[in-house]
Chain A
Amino acid sequence: GAGVSQSPSNKVTEKGKDVELRCDPISGHTALYWYRQSLGQGLEFLIYFQGNSAPDKSGLPSDRFSAERTGGSVSTLTIQRTQQEDSAVYLCASSMDSSQPWNTIYFGEGSWLTVV
C-alpha cells in the first residue's frame, strides 16, 4: 500500500478482554516494528520483525503480549487479559530493511487502545 496501515484506529475494551491490533506495512518493506506510546510519553519499543522472524522481543511488557507476522507482510499484536495500564497508542512502522543505515522508518497513524 501507499503507507503503513493500522487497524482498528480506535478500540475501547473492557478489562480482562483480549484485543488484536493489525499492521499492514508498506509493500516491499521487510522490517516491521511495534512501539507503544502512553499519554504524553515517548515511544517504547516492543518488538521488531525482519521478515517473519522476531530477533528481539525484549520490549514486550509481559507474557500477555505477543506478536506474529506471516508471509513477511501483515503483523498482529495481541494483548491478552487487558489491564488499564495497557491503555496507550500502539504504533507500527516499517522500513525496507532493518540492517541498512540509510533506510527511513515510516509510521502508521496508530491504534488508540482504551481499557475500561
Chain B
Amino acid sequence: KQEVTQIPAALSVPEGENLVLNCSFTDSAIYNLQWFRQDPGKGLTSLLLIQSSQREQTSGRLNASLDKSSGRSTLYIAASQPGDSATYLCAVGTYTGGFKTIFGAGTRLFVKA
C-alpha cells in the first residue's frame, strides 16, 4: 500500500530564507508526483507536476525534484515571502486497481515578515 510522508509537519521561517520541504513515498511504482498548495479554507492549487520519467520541474521560485528509486521528492522555495504561507501537499500518482493520487498530510509553512 502506497504511503506518503511529509517532513516537517510545520515550518516557520523569516522572510527571504530559502527552504526545502521533503516528501517520501513507500512504493516507487508511481507515474507522477505533484506538489499542491492549500490556503486556509480553500481547495488545492497545483504547483508542479513531475512525470515519473522526469527528475525535476521548475516554476518561478519553486523547484521540485524527484528521485523515484529512493522514494523521495523535495520542493525548494527560493527567497520565501509572507505570501508563501500555506500548507504544501505532496501527492503521488499510483496504480492500484485503477489510477489514483495519494496525498501526504502536508507541511504547514509560515513565513514571517
B25 on the interface (CB 8 Å rule)?
A: no
Instruction: Pick the residue among B31, B98, B105, B106 that contacts A50 (CB under 8 A).
Output: B98
Q: Is the CB of B43 within 8 A of A99?
A: no
Q: Is the interface of B mostly helix, strand, loop or mixed?
A: strand
A102 to B31, CA, bound (A): 9
Q: Is the CB of A55 within 8 A of B44?
A: no
B21 on the interface (CB 8 Å rule)?
A: no
**Which A1-58 residues have a C-beta within 8 angstroms of B?**
4, 31, 33, 35, 41-43, 45, 48, 50, 55-56, 58
Q: Is the CB of B105 within 8 A of A42?
A: yes
Interface 9-mer from A62-70, A79-87, A107-115: A107-115
CB distance from B91 to the nearest CB of A (A): 8
Instruction: Pick the residue among B42, B52, B101 that contacts A45 (CB under 8 A).
Output: B101
B64 on the interface (CB 8 Å rule)?
A: no
Q: Is the CB of B43 within 8 A of A56?
A: no
Q: How large is the interface on A (under 10, 10 to 19, 20 to 34, 35 or more residues)?
A: 20 to 34
CB closest residue in chain A, given B95:
A99
A56 to B49, CA, bound (A): 23
Q: Is the CB of A42 within 8 A of B103?
A: yes
Q: Is the CB of A101 within 8 A of B52?
A: yes
- Known contacts A101-B51, A101-B52, A102-B49, A35 near B97 by CB under 8 Å: no
Selected A-B contacts with CB under 8 Å, 7 pairs: A42-B104, A42-B105, A48-B100, A102-B49, A105-B101, A107-B44, A109-B42
Give chain B's interface residues, CB within 8 Å of chain A. 31-32, 34, 36, 42-46, 49, 51-53, 89, 91, 93, 96-106
Give chain A's interface residues, CB within 8 Å of chain B. 4, 31, 33, 35, 41-43, 45, 48, 50, 55-56, 58, 91, 93, 98-99, 101-102, 104-110
